[in-house]
Amino acid sequence: MHEGEIFLTMDKKTIIEETEKYYLPVFGRYPMVMELGQGCRVWDDEGNEYVDAFAGIAVNSLGYNHPVLVKAISEQAAKLMHCSNLYYTEIQAKALRMVAEATGMDRIFFANCGAEGNEGAMKLARKYGVSKAPTKYKIISAEESFHGRTFDTLAATGHDYYHVGYGPLSPGHVLVPYGDIKALEAQMDDDVCAVLLEPVQGEGGVHVPPDEYLQQVRALCDKHDALLIFDEVQTGVARTGKWFAYMHSGVKPDVLTFAKGIGGGFPVAGFAVPERLAHVFKPGDHGGTFGGNPLACAAVYATLTTIKSEGLVDKVAEKGEYFKNELRKLQEKYPDKVTDVRGCGLMLGMEVAGEGKPIVESCLANNVIVNCTAGNVIRIVPPLIISKEEIDIVVAALDKALAAC
């Protein structure tokens, strides 16, 4: 490599070829090169503009290039990007307080991705359980769930697709149907250390359980002294019209995990617990080199303070209701093609009778980005700042796609 070569620009063909040459082939990518983002819009290298209703998989909570977030990260990068957790930093203290207030919890651990947060939560639950009895290590999670691709989160994830080729999986994990309290009750005993659930299933197809289900799960956990862990990696940070999705039901977990939107696009995650669980881990039991670094904490603090100052929690609830009603109009218009509309806030799913992929591709051809999960559920998780006018653009693209399929 010649001096300065790193700064040379590449054409689209070279970008794709170089990426395919060097990156492990684990992603199914579209032949598009994204170059710029602003608000809820992104532009590719050919100047095509898209309304993004996917937000980098529910990550870009403040949209693209939000001035408060950009300023916070830039200023922190110029001061101190990384510092070992052997020392204190002001920005971490500020971020910790904001996360504690938003989650309704007392103690926080910062990690780097959702799977890492879930791993830490399960690790804490295992230590909690084994401290009570050596056989108290069983973790129950739900079929069709998704908790990550690391080895233990893989065992907790309820999709056979992700398990193929990785057996034997980590022991001590049990799967039950989501929303089926009798199935859960049949597996509950005093050897269960935790129940791990998404308060709204994301990858599984945007499934919202009835409040009474979560209340019954809470009661079973209390009966057997098992920790209730809510994976709020996708549902958290105002996504559903509350700070965290558990607040809809009033069922408070013992451990709450977070990631995705909490950094507004910057990689940061973690888990939160009440004070009574603060000392399950002793110094040295858990940690990480990069978790809670100053740059990540600057992103967290800027994101959460902006959500609060701009009143986005209530705005998401309002816009989410509008969006859902517009999708229901499509269901009425295409009753043979749209079988269900569900979700809450700006985490919505439109289930279709056929494959969802052609609808995603049609929307993309019409400059709108949506996603398909579970094979036939169009998942919509836009930036929290999306406008009603942009919602209308997304709905119009879906209308056009449904008419053509």
Task: Say whether pLDDT at 1 is over 50.
Answer: no
Using DSSP's 3-state secondary structure scheme, residue 90 falls into helix
**Are 327 and 273 within one domain?**
no
Task: Say whether pLDDT at 2 is over 80.
Answer: no
Q: Which domain holds residue 388?
A: 5-65+311-404
What number is the average pLDDT over the span 109-128? 98
- pLDDT recorded at residue 65: 97
Give the end of a domain, one of 309, 336, 360: 309
Task: Say whether pLDDT at 105 is over 50.
Answer: yes
List Cβ neighbours of 105 (8 Å cut-off, separation of 6 or more).
99, 256, 272, 273, 274
Number of structural domains in the chain:
2
Task: Say whether pLDDT at 399 is over 70.
Answer: yes
pLDDT in tens, 43-74: 999 999 999 999 999 999 999 999 999 999 99
Instruction: Please tell me the pTM assigned to this model.
Output: 0.96
CATH code for the domain in which residue 351 is found: 3.90.1150.10
**Are 315 and 265 within one domain?**
no
**Are 286 and 151 within one domain?**
yes
- pLDDT recorded at residue 363: 98
What number is the average pLDDT over the span 289-314? 98
Question: Among candidates 192, 193, 222, which has minimal Cα distance to 127?
Answer: 193
Task: Say whether pLDDT at 318 is over 70.
Answer: yes
- pLDDT recorded at residue 6: 56
What number is the average pLDDT over the span 242-270? 98
**Are 387 and 256 within one domain?**
no
**Are 92 and 187 within one domain?**
yes
In the chain, % of residues over pLDDT 70: 98
**Are 207 and 80 within one domain?**
yes
**Are 293 and 151 within one domain?**
yes
Token pair listed for 344: 């809450």
Give the end of a domain, one of 292, 309, 326: 309
**Are 113 and 34 within one domain?**
no
pLDDT in tens, 226-238: 999 999 999 999 9
If 0-12 CB within 10 Å is exposed, 13-18 middle and 19+ buried, where does residue 185 land? middle
Task: Say whether pLDDT at 274 is over 80.
Answer: yes
**Are 269 and 168 within one domain?**
yes
Mean pLDDT of the chain: 97
Catalytic annotation, residues: 146, 231, 260
**Are 293 and 320 within one domain?**
no
Is the bond preceding 335 in cis, omega lying within 30 degrees of 0? no
DSSP 332: H
List Cβ neighbours of 251 (8 Å cut-off, separation of 6 or more).
211, 214, 215, 217, 218, 228
CATH code for the domain in which residue 177 is found: 3.40.640.10
- pLDDT recorded at residue 8: 65
pLDDT in tens, 386-396: 999 999 999 99
**Are 144 and 176 within one domain?**
yes
Band of the pLDDT at 298, cuts 50, 70, 90? very high
Residues 267, 271, 275, 279, Cα dihedral to 10°:
-100
Token pair listed for 199: 């308060």
pLDDT in tens, 187-216: 999 999 999 999 999 999 999 999 899 999
Give the CA distances from residue 44 to residues 36, 50, 124, 358, 364, in Å, rounded to whole numbers and listed in that order.
7, 8, 43, 21, 12
Give the end of a domain, one of 246, 276, 309: 309
pLDDT in tens, 336-360: 999 999 999 999 999 999 999 999 9
**Are 347 and 326 within one domain?**
yes
Cα separation, 113 vs 111, in Å, equals: 6
- pLDDT recorded at residue 9: 86
